[in-house]
Amino acid sequence: MQVAVTSNKKHFLTIGSWSQKEIKHVLAKAHELKAMQKSGIIQQDLKGKILGMIFEKSSTRTRVSFEAGMLQLGGDAIHLKSDDLQLGRGESIEDTAKVLSQYVDVLMIRTYGHEIIERFAASADIPVINGLTDEHHPTQVMADLLTIEEYKGDLSNVKVAYIGDGNNMAHSFIEAAAKVGMELAIATPPGYEPNKTIMQEVLQEAKQTGATITITNDPTQAVVDADVIVTDVWASMGQEEQQQERLQTFAAFQVNETLCSFAKSDYIFMHCLPAHREEEVTTSIIDGPHSVVFEEAQNRLHIQKAILHYVLNYK
């Protein structure tokens, strides 16, 4: 179910909902904020602003990066588990959104179905940011774009190979590629391809930006001449009962030395973490010289700050 989001606030629910100009603006701001922090300068221009964070799914990087980022920008953050809210006792999403809009200035939600966050945004009078849903993970992929720019420069000259499940990460990478003109090759086992509707929605924009997006069931084909190799866990939160089945299904999609040998010699390896070593990626790769996973994790902080800065100053 698609919910019409009519608020005049600048939400960040998917990468596809932002223009190329907005994405580039936020990436540039993240680079600026990171450079300032490394120089010992903290831009505290969100003083008096409060970030509310609702977690229906647990998190390490999302919670700490948003909370620390808001504090560094001079604001404050409130962590709310769904069990702590009246949502857990049957209050509607719409009523909760209207009430919280009177207490905080921006709301970040990490939840399950994407329609949940759309309903929040449709009823909220404040910006709503998607910290993760089952269908999209835009803040993570924005951090990934930031990392790729740092190591590889112009995104339109980069080939990214995404290996594994056609999940929320794959969906956000597809939307990102279409926006920035990137070459993206996604390799999944048969039956685990990305959502066809999302693919159809971005194909026209991909033509306009020069992006190339291919879906294959052959991981080697996807990795050939890649500048960046990305993977994710094979069983995401809520799929634990499928773990053993997926271990067998995805075995040929492990990112290892053999697979990576088909990429460019200076490729970088990325993973949104947490990683299941020796499942989707071998220890030799994630701890190897091509891995940038911890710089990628650090960039969650800088991109969250840039996103917060943008949605709270949007006119």
Ligand-binding annotation for 110, yes or no, is: yes
Ligand-binding annotation for 272, yes or no, is: yes
Rounded Cα gap, residues 125 and 117, in angstroms:
14
Q: Does the annotation mark 300 as catalytic?
A: yes
Active-site residue identified among 137, 271, 302, 309: 137
Q: Does the annotation mark 309 as catalytic?
A: no
Rounded Cα gap, residues 314 and 170, in angstroms:
28
Ligand-binding annotation for 123, yes or no, is: no
Name the amino acid, one letter, at 176: A
CA–chain centroid gap for 20, Å, is 16
| Strands, E assignment, the chain | 50-55, 76-81, 106-110, 128-132, 159-163, 183-187, 212-216, 228-231, 268-271
**CB crowding 16-50: b at 16 or more within 10 Å, else e:** bbbeeebbbebbebbbebbeeeeeeeeeeebeebb
Ligand-binding annotation for 31, yes or no, is: no
Q: Does the annotation mark 110 as catalytic?
A: yes
Active-site residue identified among 232, 254, 302, 309: 232
Q: Does the annotation mark 260 as catalytic?
A: no
Q: Does the annotation mark 44 as catalytic?
A: no
Ligand-binding annotation for 59, yes or no, is: yes
Ligand-binding annotation for 137, yes or no, is: yes
Active-site residue identified among 140, 144, 271, 302: 140
Ligand-binding annotation for 86, yes or no, is: yes
Active-site residue identified among 11, 114, 300, 309: 300
The candidate with the shortest Cα–Cα distance to 15, out of 33, 27, 29, is 27
Is 65 in a helix, a strand, or coil? helix
Active-site residue identified among 11, 72, 110, 254: 110
Rounded Cα gap, residues 155 and 149, in angstroms:
6
Cα torsion 127, 130, 135, 139: sign: positive
Asked whether the beta carbons of 78 and 107 are under 8 A apart, the reply is no
Ligand-binding annotation for 254, yes or no, is: no
Q: What is the dihedral of CA 250, 255, 260, 261, to 10 degrees?
A: -70
Adjacent-strand bridge partners of 186: 162, 215
Enumerate the known binding-site residues.
59-62, 86, 110, 137-140, 168, 232, 236-237, 272-273, 300
Enumerate the known binding-site residues for L-ornithine.
168, 232, 236-237
Query: Catalytic positions, please?
Result: 110, 137, 140, 232, 272, 300
Enumerate the known binding-site residues for carbamoyl phosphate.
59-62, 86, 110, 137-140, 272-273, 300
